[in-house]
Amino acid sequence: MKPIMARLVLFNKPFDVLSQFTDKGHTGTDRRTLSDFIDIKGVYPAGRLDRDSEGLLLLTDDGKLQHRISAPKAATAKTYWAQVEGLPGEKALDQLRKGVELKDGPTRSAKVELIAEPSDLWPRDPPIRVRKSIPDTWISLTITEGRNRQVRRMTAAVGHPTLRLVRAAIGQWALDGLAPGEFRCLEL
């Protein structure tokens, strides 16, 4: 008997796309969903990515794999590239590394480093607002939680609001050249 293979879809979710297949309850709107890009039956998102965030979203047809990826106790590492307002100093970076106090409690420690703008990053449509009097900086953050808007809340808590947020990797899987709106299927 041939073993059943699980499917895993790596999708580069564009900005302004919902991380779900339908937009129930919002009739009369033209909000884009996963169904505008992915026509594979039986796969579901393993976790979420906010509408105003971009990057890697994993979908699978395997419930156990979905749980391993998205369950808080699994502590799956997620790496984000965040374009933040201002130039974070060592104090702000250390706060992010040690964990930040949010309204819903302290975050776990994070791996954080300043980076150059990623060379394979696509232009965002629409572009972020640019203020000539305030510089912006790219940082890489790797967290093992998945609270609602966590990275945005963390950077704001240390005085550097996120202007653009791109998820680059989840666990062992990364964007690896996927353009916005493209997906790649793997069999596990």
Q: What is the set of active-site residues?
A: 50
CA proximity to 19, closest of 43, 42, 50, 41: 50
